[in-house]
Structure 1
Amino acid sequence: MSASTLAAPIGLASTQMQLPSIEGPVTVHHSGSVDSAPVVFLHGAAPGAGGLSNWRPALTELGSDFFCLAPDFVGFADSWHPAEPPRDMRLWNRLRVEQTLAVLDHLGIERAHLVGSSMGASVALQLLTEAPERFDKAVLLATAGTPVPVTEELERVMSFYLDPSPAALARLYSWFVHDPAAMPVDLRALAERNYVVASRPDVRRSFEAQFASGPPVGVPETALRRISHPTLVVHGLQDSVVPVEAAYYLARHIPDVRLHVLGRCGHWIPSEYPDRTHRLLRSFFAGDL
């Protein structure tokens, strides 16, 4: 199958794929023309997360310039949930690396730009080190999996299902951002919508299993030094989930790096500053950063 077989309007669409290396179907949300430069967006690990819930504004805005792909990771939303899931984040990330490469193969895409947020940025780093020939430029937003102390907020994310509810999810989301009142979306309404996904038994099973071994894991320092891709690292100065020190760590070890630290910004950079995020992506991919 090639990208040309997708119904690829400029607007947003979703396609379910059966990939040879993944036991169950995966869902990929996409926008833009298949003739444009491909960009893969990898989402984070908040309860109820998925490719569409994390990246809808980016897919809508950037589809005019790029062929945008945002998969639901295995273990999230509408992609495959193993009946007997692994209980180690490293095994989950191995599945997600294989899934991302399989999506590119399925669509006949040889190389793509890569954008990851939080856990998705951690998976992006693994992809850059294990399959460097498949990617051009990389953008890492609020990267998880670096050797910084685990915050109380991240511990609350991992233990969400001890006492789940729409109200608890709304509180969790409020900790992700610097100023809930300044958000362009209603966090309570967003939590109510995402809780419909988060409360599904298969989603809960996957979520609890992946965090059974602790927080997201990253790649070794020696591997970071071997990344040759132009890389844009973006972090919120007031990120209470993954401290800004994670960005400084990456900037010290990735050779070809640009670092942007945004003031009055928490963990949800694309949601807190969507217009600025889209401008950064366009400028970086165009070679202006």
Structure 2
Amino acid sequence: MAIRPSQRNNTRLVGAGDTTIVLAHGFGTDQTAWRNQEPALAARHRVLLFDHVGAGHSDLSAYSPRRYGSLRSYALDLLHLLEELTLEHVIYVGHSMSGMIGVLAAIEEPRRFRKLILLGASPRYLDDEGYVGGFKREDLDGLYEAMQSNFHAWASGFAPIATANPDKPDLARDFAQTLAALRPDIGLHVARTTFESDHRRDLPALQIPTLVLQSQADIAVPVEVGAYLARHIPRAELQVLDATGHLPHWSAPERVTNEILSFAASP
């Protein structure tokens, strides 16, 4: 018997209300990444949390490099999950890699989505002519080499750089733990899938109202990327947060929660 999407993705539904907010985690984390937002959001809305295949307590037997060779496969997973739960007009919040996953899903089945919030999202991580993505080819090659050489040492070193809040060492510690919880081969493949992706041409097809939330300093996603998203998604607006690091929902949790609630309540 085929496993249901809700089981495959270790799905939880909490809270109650007429609106469902979907919280989709980024690379190197799982649904627990939203622990600071979940209580406040669930007090007013129904909240859907899940783990992408390969992360958290998802069904690891469902993972294969061939299937998850592009972010479109994760978008298909998301659509299957919403279909099983008979959810439409959701407010989708996607962090990091989940930003483009939500964009692709909303283009494919727009009726499933009412609004999108893209937190630290990027359509392309590699610099290109006339485009600032944040990484050069040698940067990514070095990252992959470090991951392959000693994954856990890489996780310990990368976490404080990504969280970028030296006065809050617990953030780096927590991120290092969730990174290290990944199976190394899966972590490396998901990193390649994410960092090598290019979805710039998809952006104009998104017709859903979209809020781009961007840290003012993020090693993985420069402010220029947030501005690019806002320019190329027809119904998008950009909000630069007074926050640093690639995980602003950890470093500035109340600000992110308030932005989600405000955008969810807007017409």
1:105 aligns with one of 73, 83, 91: 83
The yes-or-no answer on 1:219 pairing with 2:206 is no
Give the TM-score of the pair, scaled to structure 1. 0.78
- Counterpart of 1:176 in structure 2 is 162
Residue in structure 2 matching 1:115, options 66, 72, 93:
93
C-alpha spacing 1:95/1:179, structure 2 compared with 1 (3 Å): same
> How far 1:180 sits from its partner (Å)?
2.4
Q: Distance in 1 between matches of 2:99 and 2:218?
A: 15
- Partner residue of 1:58? 37
Matched, 1:162 2:149: yes
Kept in 1: contact 2:95–2:118 (CA 8 A): yes
Deviations 1:81-103 (A, max 9, x none): 347722586x3423311211121
Cα deviations by residue, 1:147-191 (Å, 9 ceiling, x for unpaired): 6242687666654342133x643432211233221x3x7135425
In the alignment, what sits opposite 2:54? Answer: 75
Distance in 2 of aligned mates of 1:58 and 1:154: 31
Distance 1:213 1:278, change over 3 A: closer
The change in CA–CA distance for 1:192 and 1:246 in structure 2 (over 3 A counts) is closer
Hey, what does 2:248 align to over in structure 1? 269
Q: Distance in 1 between matches of 2:140 and 2:237?
A: 26
Structure 1: runs of 5 or more not aligned: 1-16
Q: 243, 261, 264: which is aligned to 1:282?
A: 261
Whether the 8 Å CA contact 1:87–1:210 is kept in 2: the answer is no
Share of identical aligned residues, percent? 25
Aligned length, in residue pairs: 257
Q: CA 1:228–1:65 in structure 2 vs 1: closer, same or farther (change >3 Å)?
A: same
Q: CA RMSD in A?
A: 2.8
How far apart are residue 237 of structure 1 and its match? 1.7
TM-score after normalising by structure 2: 0.84
Cα pair 2:209 2:236 within 8 Å, conserved: yes
| Equivalent position of 1:258 in the other structure | 237
Matched, 1:40 2:22: yes
> Distance between the aligned counterparts of 1:156 and 1:106, measured in 2?
40
Report the Cα offset of residue 231 of structure 1.
Answer: 0.6
Residue number in structure 2 paired with 1:9: none
Structure with bigger helix share is 2
